[in-house]
Amino acid sequence: MTDEVRAAMSELLAAERRLRGRDPHRPGDLSATQVRALFQLERGEACTAGELAKRADLSPASMTAMLDQLEQGGIVERHRSEKDRRQVIVSLTDAGHEILAARRAHIEARTREVLSVYSDHELEAASKVMRSLAGLLDGFGR
């Protein structure tokens, strides 16, 4: 069974890598990486691009390029910090909040649909296994 869990984890990680590599097909759509970063911005307070890059696990250069695109699309805005004028703060626009709310609703609906065939007990066990595997991965290389 350990081999089966390891294989399933590899499949999940590969699917996540493919998702991150997919570009949106329609103009104005957001990539999975952009959505992940925006969800991190939404969960916390407005912050600098560097702080957001850390939260979203992206390089600062990638984050800056991404924010340029998102700002042009009216999804985020950048402004000088009132506390420290050297810092540029990133925040979601009203349009950005609306786009994320729609994306979240879609993701949650699809997740409920896919997981509806499993019992609460099965989902609880799956959650425990995934957290254990996350801890395993975090422990490698230390």
Rounded Cα–Cα distance for residues 1 and 33 (Å): 33
Amino acid 27: pLDDT: 59
Identify the weakest region by mean pLDDT among 19-23, 112-116, 132-136. Answer: 19-23
Count of domains for the chain: 1
pLDDT at residue 23 is higher than 80: no
The CATH number that applies at residue 12 is 1.10.10.10
Residue 130 vs residues 2, 95, 141: alpha-carbon distances, Å: 13, 34, 19
Amino acid identity at 79: H
User: What is the pLDDT confidence band of residue 9, given thresholds at 50, 70 and 90?
Assistant: confident
- Percent pLDDT > 90 in the chain is 49
Instruction: Report the mean per-residue pLDDT for the chain.
Output: 88
Rounded Cα–Cα distance for residues 80 and 90 (Å): 9
Pseudo-torsion of CA 124, 21, 107, 110, nearest 10°? Answer: -70
Please compute the mean of the pLDDT values over residues 94-102 and round it to a whole number.
93
pLDDT at residue 25 is higher than 70: no
Amino acid 142: pLDDT: 72
The residue segments making up the domain with residue 117 are 2-139
- Hey, how many other C-beta atoms are within 10 angstroms of the C-beta on 93? 15
